[in-house]
Amino acid sequence: MWLPLLGLVIGILLGLLTDWRIPSEYANYLSIAVLAAFDTLIGGIRAHLQNIYDEHVFVSGFFFNIILATSLAFLGVHLGVDLYLAAVFAFGVRLFQNIAVIRRILLTKWLESRQKNRL
Amino acid sequence: MKMNGSHVILSFVCLVLGFMLAFSYQITKKETTNRQLERQWNKEYEYRQQLIEQQEQNKKLQAELFKKQQRVREMEKELASEEQIYFNLVEDAERLRMYLGKVKVKGKGVEVTLSDASYIPSEANATNYIVHEQHVFQVVNELLIAGASAISINGQRLSHRSYIVCNGPVIEIDGTQHPAPFVIQAIGDPNVLIAALTIAGGVKDQLTSDHIVVDITEKSEITMEPLMQK
């Protein structure tokens, strides 16, 4: 159980310790990628709670979403259309929906456990 | 074993996520400091630009000020020269008035007194022993030629339009009768005037040979009243 947490900590440490810089115009792509990663992670948690979690879908979705969002932003910059807004919007909406679903599931679980305790 | 494999994959995903998060955070932080620096620099540039603009304006205004000051100085000079001209004109007018006898004048000069002969031999004609107007003419003309600036006879100023006529025992100057003796006062350099009158064979000698008593005295100050307007 603590192995993913260890991975997270190591990743954060690596990110803080790396010293190579990327040009400021690519910072946008990075933020989009972070957003996509978050979205996939939250989606994975929700799927896990709903018992429809599939490891392959999760891993492929994680990387594919990151690459897709970044390439979409790249395309938008080169076409002169702010396509990264579409990515931000889509991921943002899904993020909120997923979080809402997780909240509801947790809430019903908690209420059920309380009723069980009472009984 | 399967559980373990999924955990490894999950931890790899978490590693990537953590790396991306930290990296993004770091970049954003650096960028904000960069932006602050840039803003500061921009502000500095703007202020410098303003300063330069201000200085340029100052320069321009200063040049204008110098130009105006130059003009004021020129005008002052002009005024000064004009004043000089006016002053000269006033002086000229005063001098001309003096010549015309319109003002009271004062200065060094000589006084010539022409009196009739005190002794007239009984067999001689009395007319040969009294002062005639031509004698007065002679003296006055000599004085004028010698450079007298103002002349009066018995206290009456002579002008350039004065006339002297013989009127029996008296002479008439501008309508006023004067008896002998005649006191002719002249303002001018006394040395020159006296020398002119007493030159050998000159006026004094001629008058003396006409039996007239001539008395020439130098005066340190003679005051003449202005000519009466008629």
A13 domain-assigned: no
A88 domain-assigned: yes
A93 domain-assigned: yes
Asked if A62 lies within 8 A of B16 by C-beta distance, the reply is yes
For A77-88, how does the pLDDT look when each residue is reduced to its tens digit (9 = 90+)?
888 888 888 888
Asked if A4 lies within 8 A of B14 by C-beta distance, the reply is yes
> Given CB atoms, is B31 within the 8 Å cutoff of chain A?
yes
List the structure tokens of B202.
């000159």
A9 domain-assigned: no
A12 domain-assigned: no
> B110: buried, middle or exposed (CB in 10 Å: 19+, 13-18, 0-12)?
buried
pLDDT at A81: 81
**Taking the mean position of all CA atoms in its chain, how far away is CA B54?**
45
Q: How far apart are CA B119 and CA B213, in angstroms?
A: 10
Asked if B16 lies within 8 A of A37 by C-beta distance, the reply is yes
A3 domain-assigned: no
Asked if B13 lies within 8 A of A7 by C-beta distance, the reply is yes
- When CB atoms are compared, the residue of B9, B20, B28 closest to A33 is B20
Which helix (H) or strand (E) covers residue A59, if one does? Answer: helix A55-79
pLDDT at B76: 94
Among candidate residues B153, B122, B133, B146, the one with its CA nearest the CA of residue B212: B133
A8 domain-assigned: no
Per-residue pLDDT of chain B in tens (230 residues, 90 and over written 9): 345 667 777 788 888 888 888 888 887 777 788 888 888 999 999 999 999 999 999 999 999 999 999 999 999 999 999 999 999 999 999 888 877 777 888 889 999 888 887 777 777 777 777 888 888 888 888 888 988 888 888 888 888 788 888 877 788 888 888 887 889 999 988 898 888 888 888 888 888 888 888 888 888 888 888 776 54
Q: How far apart are CA B57 and CA B69, in angstroms?
A: 18
- Tell me the residue ranges of DSSP E strands in A3-73: none
Q: Which domain holds residue A37?
A: 22-115
State the CB neighbour count (10 A cutoff) for residue A66.
22
H helix runs in chain B, sequence order: 2-100, 133-145, 190-197, 203-209
Radius of gyration from C-alpha coordinates of chain A: 18
> Given CB atoms, is B26 within the 8 Å cutoff of chain A?
yes
- When CB atoms are compared, the residue of A3, A11, A62 closest to B22 is A11
For A17-75, how does the pLDDT look when each residue is reduced to its tens digit (9 = 90+)?
877 777 777 777 888 888 888 888 888 888 888 888 888 888 888 888 888 888 888 88
> Given CB atoms, is A3 within the 8 Å cutoff of chain B?
yes
A4 domain-assigned: no
> Given CB atoms, is B3 within the 8 Å cutoff of chain A?
no
Domain count, chain A: 1
Asked if B34 lies within 8 A of A11 by C-beta distance, the reply is no
State the CB neighbour count (10 A cutoff) for residue B111.
16
What number is the ipTM of this complex? 0.71
**Taking the mean position of all CA atoms in its chain, how far away is CA A27?**
18
How confident is the prediction for chain A on average, in pLDDT? 84
H helix runs in B101-224, sequence order: 133-145, 190-197, 203-209
pLDDT at B1: 38
pLDDT at B2: 45
Helix axis angle for A2-17 and B2-100, nearest 10°, is: 30
List the structure tokens of A50.
């709903």
Percent above pLDDT 90 for chain A: 14
pLDDT at B179: 84
Does residue A100 carry a pLDDT above 90? Answer: yes
